[in-house]
Each structure stands twice: as C-alpha cells, then as structure tokens.
Amino acid sequence: MWETFVMTKISPSQHSIINDARITTFGRLIEVVARLDSTFGSKLDEPEAFPKTWFEIMLRLARSENQQLKMSELAEQVALTTGGITRLIDRMTTAGLAERLADPSDRRVQYAHITQLGVDQLLKVCPIHAADLQREVYDRLSASEVKVLDAILDKLR
C-alpha cells in the first residue's frame, strides 16, 4: 500500500541506535519499579493510610539509632532535597507521626524522630507491605534470582 502522508522515517542504522539493548533493559527496570511502587501506594487504603514516601521515612527512622536521623541525612537517604524533607517532616509532624528534636551539641542541626504513634502505625503496615511484596515480587522469583538481585543492588549502590 502506498503512503498517503509522509511520516517521520527512521533508517536501519538509526534503528539500531534507538533500539540499544542497554537502554531498553534500563527502561524496563525503571518501568517495572515504578509500576510496582505505585501498586503498593494504592494498596495501603486502610483508614489510617499514608503515602509510600511516609512509609519509607518512618522505616528509616525506626531502624536508626534512637529512632532519629538528621534532616540532611534523611534527605540524602531518600533522595530528596533538604527543602523537600523540611516540608515532608512538617506534614508528618502535623499527622503526629514524626517530630523534630534539637541537637544540644550543634544548634544548627535538627533531628527527625519517629513518634510512638508513628511506630505503632509502622508496625501495623509492615506485615501488609511484606505480604504484598511476597505476592507481587518474591513468589514470582526463584531464590537464586533474589540472591543475584541483591548482589546487583550491592554493586550499583
């Protein structure tokens, strides 16, 4: 069939550039992770639901020494700017899940600290999230694949 309109054409040599396997695989990685992530975000539709970002914050605080982290450390860990963290902790503070603690030895720093309510909520949500992960991720992978995945993450850290 002849073409009625002239469309954008891509030559064979250009085709190989656009279809680079490395770009394809990485793109799939981004896509799969984004899709899984958003799946779990909407999965937490409990009465006391909170965004997945909050979950990540609370988890890191709960796992840290004294259940607290410097604002700047927290920002670095969750790949946000310090400005972003400032207002995120503001919101979590309003929700009663986090609070700020001053550092007596350096009055420039503020610690983000998870509250008792935050710990309670976290303990309630963790098993749900773990079950979701089991079903959506781990049940679909072999033990050796999980092992390799872990190794890959170590190398890319």
Partner DNA sequence: CAAGATTGAGTGATCAATCTTC
Partner DNA sequence: GAAGATTGATCACTCAATCTTG
The footprint of DNA (CB under 7 A) covers 42, 51, 53, 70-73, 79-91, 100, 106-111
97 close to 90: Cβ distance less than 8 angstroms: no
Q: What's the closest the beta carbon of residue 86 comes to a copy of itself, in angstroms?
A: 19
Q: Which of residues 37-96 bind a copy of itself (CB under 8 A)?
A: 37-38, 56, 59, 62-63, 66-67, 77-79
Of the chain, the end-to-end C-alpha distance in Å amounts to: 52
145 touches which of a copy of itself, DNA, none (CB within 5 to 8 A by kind)? a copy of itself
Residue located via tokens 């872990």: 150
Q: Burial level of 62, CB count in 10 A (0-12/13-18/19+)?
A: middle
Q: What's the closest the beta carbon of residue 33 comes to a copy of itself, in angstroms?
A: 5
| Torsion sign (Cα): 98, 116, 77, 34 | negative
140 lines the binding site for a copy of itself (CB under 8 A): yes
Q: What's the closest the beta carbon of residue 18 comes to a copy of itself, in angstroms?
A: 5
